[in-house]
Structure 1
């Protein structure tokens, strides 16, 4: 047994030695622990700064190239594994594929439109072929009925003449089975009325010829108007008013109850220039001529062609005549 220290000095010395030993045992690991905690904090701070610097130098970086600051479980130091299936980004190849899809869609639309136009064109050609069969005889330069009309001279500028003009002998382009009926000479009153219609005198001779034929037609002198308009068509085939002349010549026949000759002139004017000034009128009046002949099928073809080829005219300038013509026939 340890002897009992009985003196105060000895008890004090023993207590001091025991306290010193305890302090040595307790405080010995403290410097090592503090040093490890400081180094680990500095390392973590440096790593965070490096990651921040990487995001600054390489903006837009994702998990495929940079590790996140906070790992699973909230531990910044914990390693993370990036998914191998990252979201696809917009690249040049993606843009090219999108543009190719757009081009293919546009190409399909253009192909469908071209097929529709080809179908419409084929139907138009069929209708045109049916219209061409409406004329059973070829169109001659001078209509047979116009060749037998009496010749007349335009009114002079000073005073009308009272003498009857010579009658032009009939010209036959083909042998006829029976002789044509003789045409009576115009009466003096009719001749005076015709000569009272003055002929324009301007620098455009072709326009003067057409205008004179128009004045005769407006006055109701249809045979004289046909003769005058035939002269205009023959002498001025390239005149700007040639479409007006051919169409008015057909009107002069139709208004005189000659639908066969009228149909030939209307068809001729329409086929010569479909963009002519009076081509729509000729196509519409071709349908009227067929109605006058009681040919419903050809009338329906002509009216349908008019409505499809000239929709603006059919709903505008000639809308009333077009509706009236449709009301006279029953088209399927």
Structure 2
């Protein structure tokens, strides 16, 4: 309103003053605001670029947008999980190694004890036909006859089957033996064993001894050999020759204690010692049987084992 009433020349002067004021004050303020916005934008872009090029950079140079606890970067959880897994696996491996070490020590001690007792048995049967006393420590103990036994292994000897009576078998016996047929199959070794078994089953023990001794000598690696040695020992034992039977039973057990007739031979070895009146050695053989074959002691051979136990008094 004031400008409208003012003369034209005065209005022009006022307009000029206002324009000058705007040029000297308003324009610089707007320029300053624009510069500050551009600077803030550039700084934000530079920080974003720094985070992309230098992830996890030193805080002295790159101030983090968000502060947090240590190891809180994008890979912190992954790294922590990997390290935890490695430590857990190392702990498991150490525990497994400790367990295996204990098992090996127990197995080694058990095997050593068995080998020591077998050495004493082998020594006694090879030298005199009767196994010596077995001690857990492997030291030889005195037998019930007062003779000290040693653990030294002598040269192995092969028991020899007895022959027929000096007068020779009778004609009737010869005829009865001839009547027993020998099998004829594709397995000659099995045929020889089966023939010896038939002779033993018929009660012709000396003839069975000869047939079975020939079989085990001719076929040392046959699958029937463990049966042949065990039955050869029984042919002696059933014929009242416990001293001659014992070495065959021991040899069969010692050759392979996992063989089919190895546990049977160990029990018959105990019976041979009982027949010889050697209670101490019989108890040792029975203890060896129960320790080596606990399942058979309560299973297939339970009756025979208990019958032998009742014949002797073991401490």
After TM superposition, the score normalised by the length of structure 1 is 0.60
1:205-220 matches, within 5 Å, as 206-220=189-203
1:62 is aligned, of 49, 56, 64, to 56
User: CA offset at residue 296 of structure 1?
Assistant: 4.1
2:35 equivalent in structure 1: 39
CA–CA distance in structure 1, aligned partners of residues 306 and 250 of structure 2: 21
Alpha-carbon distance between aligned partners in 1 of 2:43 and 2:180, rounded to the nearest angstrom: 112
Q: For the residues of structure 2 that align with 1:226 and 1:277, how far apart are their CA atoms? A: 20
Which of 44, 49, 74 is equivalent to 2:45? 49
Q: Are residues 203 and 42 of structure 1, via their aligned partners in 2, closer, same or farther at CA, if it must alter by over 3 Å?
A: closer
For residues 1-332 of structure 1, the aligned pairs below 5 Å read 29-57=25-53, 61-62=55-56, 64=58, 66-69=62-65, 90=79, 108-135=98-125, 136-137=127-128, 139-143=157-161, 146-147=162-163, 149-150=164-165, 167=168, 192-202=175-185, 206-234=189-217, 236=218, 238=220, 240=222, 241-274=224-257, 276-309=259-292, 318=301, 321-322=304-305, 325=308
Whether the aligned pair in 2 keeps the contact of 1:290 and 1:296 (CA below 8 Å) is: yes
Task: Give the conservation status (yes or no) of the 8 Å contact 1:214–1:225.
Answer: yes
Please identify, of 196-205 and 98-107, the stretch whose mean Cα deviation from structure 2 is larger.
98-107
Structure 1 residue runs of 5 or longer lacking an equivalent are: 1-8, 73-81, 152-165, 168-184
Q: Distance in 1 between matches of 2:196 and 2:248?
A: 16
Q: How many residues align?
A: 274
Which is helix-richer, 1 or 2? 2
Q: Distance in 1 between matches of 2:70 and 2:118?
A: 71
- Structure 2, unpaired ranges of 5+: 130-156
Shift, 1:119, TM fit: 1.9
Residue 262 of structure 1 and its aligned partner are, at CA, apart by 1.8
Shift in Å, 1:23: 11
Per-residue CA shift, 1:95-139, capped at 9, x if unaligned?
9x9587777666555544443333222222222133235525165
Q: Secondary structure at the match of 2:199?
A: helix
Shift of 1:222: 2.7
CA contact (8 A) 1:48 1:69 kept: no
What does residue 182 of structure 1 align with?
none
Once the 2 structures are TM-superposed, how far is the Cα of residue 300 of structure 1 from its aligned partner? 3.7
Structure 2 distance, partners of 1:281, 1:123, is: 21
Residue 162 of structure 1 is matched in structure 2 by: none
Query: What is the TM-score normalised by the length of structure 2?
Result: 0.62
Equivalent position of 1:79 in the other structure: none
The answer as to whether partners of 2:159 and 2:247 remain within 8 angstroms in 1 is no
Larger Rg: 1
* CA distance in structure 2 between the partners assigned to 1:199 and 1:56 by the alignment: 94
Contact kept, 8 Å, 1:287 with 1:300, in 2: the verdict is yes
Cα distance in 2 between the residues matched to 1:18 and 1:319: 133
CA distance in 1, matches of 2:34, 2:67: 22
